[in-house]
């Protein structure tokens, strides 16, 4: 009889465990640099090897991972890219790769300087 009660108890626990885990909240992650810079930026293409400058360009910066952002632009000349970022003194900048991503917090934390695929942009966070 004792074995039967023990087996029923084990089966009941095994059945209820997934239900208790489903209600558990996922641990909150600590915001990183990608969270800090994510948002919509508006500005100008100030130089481009394939075309003239252009005003009123919108860039969307989206967090895609820890200290990693995706850049999307409403101008077809600017391709979508992912850029790893890091903090260096009082600036946030690209940590590697061919693209320039620069926010100088002491000068103006809303200003983003960006160079992607031979096009340079000067943008302000909205």
Beta carbons of 68 and 85 less than 8 angstroms apart: yes
Segment 117-124 shows an average pLDDT of 96
Between CA 30 and CA 43 the distance in angstroms is 30
Long-range pairs for 67-75: beta carbons < 8 A, 24 or more residues apart: 67/32, 67/33, 67/34, 67/95, 68/34, 69/34, 69/37, 69/38, 69/101, 71/99, 71/101, 71/114, 71/116, 73/116, 75/45
Which 3 state secondary structure label does DSSP give 42?
strand
Distant-in-sequence contacts of 14-22, Cβ < 8 A, 24+ apart: none
pLDDT tens for each residue of 19-48:
555 555 667 889 999 999 999 999 999 998
**pTM for the whole thing?**
0.77
CA gap 123, 41 in Å, rounded: 6
CATH fold of 33-125 reads: Lipocalin (2.40.128)
pLDDT digits (tens, 9 = 90+) for 75-96: 999 999 999 999 999 999 999 9
Residue ranges of domains in the chain: 33-125
């Amino acid at each position: 009889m004792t074995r039967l009660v023990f087996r029923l108890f084990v089966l009941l626990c095994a059945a209820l465990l997934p239900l208790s885990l489903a209600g558990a909240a996922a641990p909150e992650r600590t915001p990183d640099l990608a969270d800090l810079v994510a948002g919509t930026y508006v500005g100008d293409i100030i130089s481009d090897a394939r075309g003239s400058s252009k005003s009123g360009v919108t860039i969307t910066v989206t967090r895609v991972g820890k200290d990693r952002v995706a850049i999307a632009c409403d101008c077809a000349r600017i391709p979508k890219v992912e850029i790893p970022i890091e903090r260096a003194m009082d600036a946030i900048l690209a940590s590697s790769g061919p693209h320039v991503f620069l926010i100088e917090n002491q000068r103006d934390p809303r200003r983003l300087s960006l160079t992607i695929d031979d096009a340079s942009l000067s943008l302000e966070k909205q």
